[in-house]
Amino acid sequence: MELSHDDVLEILELLESSKVEYLELEVGSTKIVANRSGITLGRSPEIPIIAEPPQAPSTVAPASAPSGEVATQDPPRRAEKVGLVKVTAPVVGVFYRQSEPGAPPYVEVGSKVEEGATLGLLEVMKMFTSVTAPSRGEIVEILVQNNEFVEFEQPLMLILPETAP
């Protein structure tokens, strides 16, 4: 079973009308983490939290390999790009790259940003949260589309941090 965008909004509306302070819900590939207090809770060992599913190396037998030999290739992984800073979603919601429809995006690939600069907005239940740059640098990859539903702590962009002169 998978949750639709409308299912998630309904869950969040129910949460808003309740006295629940913290909720973690995982259904299929969708995970919702809602925290009213803003306090970061420690992860207990009995609740596994997987931000990105582990990827096992794929096994490929190239045409030129002698019989019985197998070549191992690791799939490309964004997290392994050395020195890049991951910008993650501070809340669950719909990601917007611009302040309003028709406006230019806050940033594009190649944009230079200052620490704290607004990179996008997340909307949940008509409440907007700014996505800000954790460091000064250059946007090298945008990992989500405009108007896409994103999960808490989902990677949104990658920044190549600027080194001090």
pLDDT of amino acid 75? 41
Residue 71 within a domain: no
On whether both 86 and 23 belong to a single domain, the answer is no
The pLDDT value recorded for residue 103 is 93
What residues make up the domain containing 87? 78-161
Q: Given this model, what pLDDT does residue 51 score?
A: 38
The pLDDT assigned to 81 comes to: 62
**For all residues of the chain together, what is the average pLDDT?**
75
Q: How far, in Å, CA of 11 to CA of 58, rounded?
A: 38
Closest CA to 30 of 59, 50, 60: 50
- Residue 68 is assigned to a structural domain of this protein: no
Residue 141 domain-assigned (yes or no)? yes
53 within a domain of the structure (yes/no): no
87/156 same-domain check:
yes
Q: Say if residue 82 is in the same domain as residue 136.
A: yes
Question: Strand, coil or helix: what is 23?
Answer: strand
40: Cα separation from own chain's centroid: 17
> Structure pTM?
0.54
Whether residue 157 sits in one domain with residue 94: yes
| CATH number, domain containing residue 154 | 2.40.50.100
Residues 6 or more apart whose Cβ sits within 8 Å of residue 61: 69, 70, 71
Residues of the chain with pLDDT under 50: 40-79
Q: Please name the residue that has the structure tokens 């809602």.
A: 34
Q: Total structural domains in the chain?
A: 2
Residue 10 resides in a domain? yes
Q: Is residue 52, in this structure, part of any structural domain at all?
A: no
Element holding 126 (H helix, E strand): none
User: Quick one: three-class SS letters along 133-157?
Assistant: CCCCEEEEEECCCCCEEECCCCEEE
* 155 and 103 in a common domain: yes
